[in-house]
Amino acid sequence: MLKAGIVGMGRWGRVLVESVQRRNDAGLRFVAGSTGTPEKARAWATGQGIRLHPDYAAVLADPEVEAVVLATPHSQHAAQVIAAAGLGKHVFVEKPFAMRRADAEAMVAAARAAGVVLALGHNRRFLPATEEMQRLLAEGALGTVLHAEGHISGPAAAGWKEGMWRADRGESPLGGMGAMGIHMIDMLINLMGPFAEVTVQSHRRVLPHVDDTTAMLARFASGATCTFATLSLAPQTWRVALYGTKGAAEMRGPQQLVFTPVPGEGAPEGFTRDYPKVDIEAAELAAFAAAAAGGPAYPLPLEQAVHGIAVFEAMIGAAASGSTYAVG
């Protein structure tokens, strides 16, 4: 059982803890932690059996803590990961991985030098529908993929108030990208491979502090094109679709997949499949614990984690300049 510290006990930190804390099959148990507002978390931490430390340094110094799970603002991730790796602690870090590619590369280098597992929390990789889309691609059921579409939106920014870190343009330079959109960028990398270039428009139409509307036109290294949008003040939406010369696959929400083949002799039958809800937070933490125990590698290669931040950084530059940015 991997003994972990939770760093950040806001809404999402609590979701992560509660997904595994009372499950014997998770392979991970939280024993300690810290947060920016300990007075708000003390009763909850006690109820979860978590020792509340005054700061991150104290969590790292706790001899029982073998790993840390970071549910902290994006800009803090690089320093926190490097510090943990330097002490031989495994690290699970919430998305976005970092704010700059150089920081992401430094985090990976520190983890590899220390021989610790570094895992990134893109939980949609653990959806059964994602696995089915990958199978269709591997079997050639879509043919040559010509175009991909991604959309992830939600109304959360209605609750982002001045003084909150998500309402800070430094932490949320493209509105919903850090909170939501980066998940779709990772999904597109997972399915389609690396991006080559991006053109982005991002605007603040309603919100007083950060952008509420971000849209992108992009091209992958494969030559396929892509359209993407994330709205931080709109109904909850998750949709990813791939259009190929033999068929199309569309994930409509996290629990439904639609396959539409091109008609013709010998063409397979189309289908619509509904999947049961999966606790993807528990799944990602279990995969992290298994990797830390010497089992299968965490199913998000660090090269793809770094590339996701390279895309994010290029998107920020493209939106600011009004031009197309190559993704390094």
CB 93 within 8 A of CB 77: yes
pLDDT at 309: 97
* pTM assigned to the model: 0.95
CATH architecture, domain 124-326? 2-Layer Sandwich (3.30)
Q: In the predicted model, is pLDDT for residue 265 greater than 90?
A: no
pLDDT at 17: 97
pLDDT at 288: 98
pLDDT at 266: 81
Q: How far is CA 134 from CA 46, 88, 125, 126, 240, in A?
A: 42, 34, 10, 12, 12
Q: How does pLDDT run across 133-190, given as a tens digit for each residue?
A: 999 999 999 999 999 999 999 999 888 888 888 888 888 889 999 999 999 999 999 9
For strand 2-7 and strand 28-34, is the pairing parallel, antiparallel, or unpaired? parallel
Q: How does pLDDT run across 119-131, given as a tens digit for each residue?
A: 999 999 999 999 9
Question: Rounded mean pLDDT of 267-286?
Answer: 96
Q: How does pLDDT run across 8-63, given as a tens digit for each residue?
A: 999 999 999 999 998 878 899 999 999 999 999 999 999 999 999 999 999 999 99
Domain ranges of the chain: 2-122, 124-326
**Helix locations, 193-295, DSSP H:** 280-292
Nearest to 72, CA basis, from 50, 92, 47, 43: 92
Beta bridge partners of 284: none
pLDDT at 100: 94
Question: Rounded mean pLDDT of 224-240?
Answer: 97
Other beta carbons within 10 angstroms of residue 24's beta carbon come to: 8
pLDDT at 320: 95
How buried is residue 294: exposed, middle or buried, by Cβ count under 10 Å (0-12/13-18/19+)? exposed
For residues 154-173, one letter each, b for 16 or more C-beta atoms within 10 angstroms of the residue's C-beta and e for the rest, the string is: beebeebeeeebbbbeebbb
pLDDT band at 241 (very low <50, low <70, confident <90, very high): very high
Distance from chain centroid for Cα 223: 24
pLDDT at 144: 98
pLDDT at 267: 83
CA atoms within 13 A on the CB side of 66: 12
Distance from chain centroid for Cα 25: 23
In sign, the C-alpha dihedral spanning 220, 124, 154, 18 is negative
Q: How does pLDDT run across 193-230, given as a tens digit for each residue?
A: 999 999 999 999 999 889 999 999 999 999 999 999 99
Domain 2-122 has CATH 3.40.50.720: yes
Q: In the predicted model, is pLDDT for residue 76 greater than 90?
A: yes
Nearest to 305, CA basis, from 126, 107, 71, 86: 107
